[in-house]
Amino acid sequence: MSVFSHAELDDHESLHFINDASTGLRAIIAIHSTVLGPAAGGCRRWSYLSDAEAVTDALRLSRGMTYKNAVAELPFGGGKAVILSSNTAPKSPQLLAAFGRAVDSLGGKYVTAEDVGMSVDDMRQVQQHTKFVSGLPQSGANAGGDPSPWTALGVYLGIAAAVKSRLEKDSLKDLKIAIQGVGHVGAHLCQLLHDAGAKLLVADVNRDNLNAVKTAIPVEVVAPANILYADVDVLAPCALGNVLTSATIPKIKAKVIAGAANNQLSTLADGARLAARKILYAPDYVINAGGIISVSHEYYGASSEDQVRADVEKIPHRLQSIFAESSESGRPTNELADEYARRLIAAGRK
């Protein structure tokens, strides 16, 4: 199949394939849009089943970043990088240097940061080879550093907004919440939810992640295969995408789905399936924008953590507007969010 006929190509401006024989780096950088600013989005390192799956992931993630940055009112377009993980190409300083050079070769059209499989320390090494990188430690009260806590804060605030809208509760105390994935973002989210009095069920394929959360706070561990179907009030997908499908949605018991994972819906029609079951879905790129908000403040400079927090605290208000419109119109929340994002991008293009 030609890349130009790929179902997820959408209006992507460019797609870059990087192959560095000396380090084994194989990566894809997808630039969806630079209408509102340089295409910003993290770098994900993952073991894909095929090259085609990696291309699809890069395309979907980069489009999601365009929508996320637009709705969050950031001076960024959307892009994403994926590094294909393999045993023959470990995450070495040389491989990260090659990735940094690849980012730099795009001349600022793409700004990278950490994502799944990448860390702040990795970005430090990438920074040695390009200035088009964010998510780095900062000094003093300046904004910057690991964006995961900010993503978690936005999701936490979004969960509270969704609970108020769907369950008509002003508190998360004693609510049962299932968190799928307790990595960097999921672990921070668990702590916030625990502090609010929620009862937590957690699952993760990574045993170290589970042990870390179990040591920190009381949680009930559920098998990864069962977490989506737990008898809870709220389901928070915080791992990878494509978990809400025609096969999984009929078995979900939660009344609210609000989590940090990107591309939670397998298809646009899955938003309608959730709405038909009266499950309130918080569009992923609206609720999980806290991290890129922090990255934006860091990248453009002259910002404090207080300014980041103020912008992250706008997330629940955006969600409440979407929830209210969905209730009045009967239309799925994901459709309304997509339309809003496209209007903002069109306005920027004009």
Name residue, tokens 């992250």: 312
Catalytic residue among 68, 80, 109, 199: 80
| DSSP per-residue codes, 117-174 | T--HHHHHHHHTT-S-B-----STTBS-S-SHHHHHHHHHHHHHHHHHHHH--S--TT
Rounded distance between C-alpha atoms, residue 61 and residue 288, angstroms: 13
Specify whether 255 is catalytic. no
Query: Do β-strands 280-281 and 256-257 pair in parallel, antiparallel, or remain unpaired?
Result: parallel
Contact by Cβ (8 Å): 26, 65: no
3-state secondary structure of 304: strand
| DSSP per-residue codes, 73-118 | T-S-EEEEEEEE-BTTB---HHHHHHHHHHHHTTTTSEEB-B-TT-
Comparing CA positions, the residue from 84, 67, 97, 70 lying closest to residue 29 is 84
Helix (H) or strand (E) holding 330: none
Q: Cα-Cα-Cα-Cα dihedral of 197, 202, 206, 208, to 10°?
A: 40
Give the pair of three-digit tokens for residue 219: 């949680």
Q: Note every long-range contact of 221-226, with CB atoms under 8 Å and residues 24 or more positions apart, other chains counting.
A: 222/178, 224/180
Name residue, tokens 């108020």: 164
Residues involved in catalysis: 80
